[in-house]
């Protein structure tokens, strides 16, 4: 069952849908420590920052998770991360910008 917290009151990143301890730690490593800090953020930019901070290429599915989390915090439904896979593929194709 998907987590579906009250986005206005959720206090921790790992309480968001699709976010576990590892992704919460990755976000914290780039200065995102509260779910509200995801609002208005570019998931691709967050993905790249996490990769740069960790010093290695991240699984592209992380971008799907970040898209889901940002969208949820901006008022979208609580959806599984894989719902965003096709959108991620289109985004990267449009930008002709491969993942690092």
- 37-69 pLDDT tens trace: 999 999 999 999 999 999 998 999 999 999 999
Contact status, residue 10 vs residue 78, Cβ threshold 8 Å: no
Task: Give the global pTM.
Answer: 0.91
Spatial neighbors of 13 by CB under 8 A, at least 6 apart, are: 19, 23, 24, 27, 28, 32, 33, 34, 35, 69
Cα(85)–Cα(78) distance, rounded to whole angstroms? 15
Cα(59)–Cα(34) distance, rounded to whole angstroms? 23
3-class DSSP state of 32: coil
Whether residue 98 is predicted with pLDDT greater than 80 in this model: the reply is no
Domain boundaries, the chain: 13-95
- Ramachandran class of 96: left when φ > 0, alpha when ψ lies in -120 to 50, beta otherwise: left
């Amino acid at each position: 069952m998907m987590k579906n917290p009250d986005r206005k009151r959720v206090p921790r990143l790992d309480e968001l849908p699709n976010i576990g301890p590892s992704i919460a730690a990755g976000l914290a490593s780039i200065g995102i420590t509260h779910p509200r800090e995801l609002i208005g953020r570019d998931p691709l930019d967050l993905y790249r920052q996490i990769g740069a901070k960790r010093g290695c290429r991240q699984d592209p599915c992380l971008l799907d998770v970040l898209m889901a989390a940002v969208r949820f915090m901006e008022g979208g439904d609580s959806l599984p991360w894989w719902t965003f896979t096709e959108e991620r593929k289109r985004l990267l194709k449009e930008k002709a910008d491969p993942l690092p």
